[in-house]
Amino acid sequence: MNAIKLKFVVPSEVAEQQRRLWRAAVKWPMYAVAVMPALVAAGWLLGPGRSAWRLQPQQLALFLLAAVLLLAWENVCNDYFDAQTGVDVHKPHSLIQLTGAPRLVLMAAQLCCVLGLLLMVQVAMASSWWLLPLVLASCCCGYLYQGPPFRLGYQGLGEPLCWLAFGPLATAAALVGLGAPALGPEGGGPLDLSLASQLGCGPALATTLVLFCSHFHQVEDDLAHGKRSPVQKLGTARAAALVPWLVAVALLAEVMPVAWGAWPPTVLLALASLPVALPLIRLLGRHHHQPERISHSKFLALRFQMANGVLFAGGLALGAFTLSS
């Protein structure tokens, strides 16, 4: 009787375990980081004083789809490159371990890249060709992070590259693609990289926090395979103590421009994302040295990133209504 019961139960448990591993491998919540530059750009374009710069919904849809495909290229490539170095040896949800077909995984990543760039070309055709160098520069940051022979992420430079890619570069690309005047003197508008840096600074810091928190539970594996992440360099205690400061700087970068009138007062809505960061701060503060208890910390950071970005973008857009009233 027990043997018969096991025959039916065990396969279902294995199937459920496989589904969990595939969900962890796909990491669909992580694609929130891809859409945030476009949402911030859309919020700014809908804000006060920019009625002449019409947000184009079809451009937004195409840009979002292209951004998701390009991030999929980066994520899948990272699995492939990490498998080459062996750093993912204890990561059962690696796509390479799940499929056992590294070439197929790399081909899928390349297909995502081609499709994403083709969609960006379509967006550029309806807006400005300035979009393409900005997108390509952002993609280069993604490749430099893990791709050979650079692998700058192994030298602790992944976080600066992440901020640059999802901050000034992606935000500027989204602004141009969604309807703002093109960069350069022929664009006829005030848009430049300094504006994109100012807009993207806080949300990009929140995105960088997700990457920073992904290192806490794998310090030993990183060290064994020559990966010197910032958490490994600082030690988990000092790295955990840095997290509240990163949250604070991200929020200050978003709300301080309200003081000199650069953003409408409604942008203070971004401060409402602070409570979302508190569980992450508490978890790492208490258990930073226990990998099994903090393996989900990057997803707590992702919740803050999503809440913060949406509230910031919403605050920018809502400023138009307060001004008109």
pLDDT at 247 over 50: yes
pLDDT at 95 over 80: no
Tokens encoding 29: 């919540």
* Per-residue pLDDT, 75: 86
CA pair distance 229, 79, nearest whole angstrom: 17
Question: Residue 67 belongs to a domain with what CATH number?
Answer: 1.10.600
| In-domain check, residue 10 | no
**180: DSSP letter:** P
User: Is-contact 154 186, C-beta < 8 A?
Assistant: no
Positive or negative CA dihedral for 89, 91, 96, 100? Answer: positive
CA pair distance 146, 82, nearest whole angstrom: 8
pLDDT at 2 over 50: no
* Per-residue pLDDT, 5: 46
Q: Which one of 23-27, 221-225, 250-254 scores highest in mean pLDDT?
A: 250-254
| In-domain check, residue 306 | yes
Average pLDDT of the residues of the chain = 84
Q: What is the pLDDT of residues 186-226, one digit of tens each?
A: 444 445 566 788 899 999 999 999 999 988 888 887 777 77
Crossing angle for the helix pair 297-324 and 32-45, to the nearest 10 degrees:
10
User: Is-contact 26 90, C-beta < 8 A?
Assistant: no
**Please, which contacts does 226-230 make with residues 24 or more away whose CB atoms are closer than 8 Å?**
226/85, 226/154, 227/85, 227/87, 227/153, 227/154, 228/154, 228/155, 228/156, 229/153, 229/156, 229/158, 230/156, 230/159
Averaged pLDDT for residues 31-41: 92
CA pair distance 72, 263, nearest whole angstrom: 32
Amino acid present at 255: V
* Per-residue pLDDT, 205: 96
Q: What is the pLDDT of residues 44-62, one digit of tens each?
A: 988 876 655 677 889 999 9
Owning domain of residue 98: 32-178+194-320
CA pair distance 304, 297, nearest whole angstrom: 11
- Residue at token pair 């093109």: 182
**Largest Cα–Cα distance in the chain?**
80
* Per-residue pLDDT, 182: 58
Judged by average pLDDT, the poorest of 101-115, 145-159, 181-195 is 181-195
CA pair distance 324, 75, nearest whole angstrom: 43
| In-domain check, residue 15 | no
| In-domain check, residue 22 | no
Averaged pLDDT for residues 271-278: 97
Find, among 158, 228, 172, the residue nearest to 200 by Cα: 172
Position with higher pLDDT, 323 vs 85: 85
| In-domain check, residue 139 | yes
| In-domain check, residue 104 | yes
**Count of structural domains, the chain:** 1
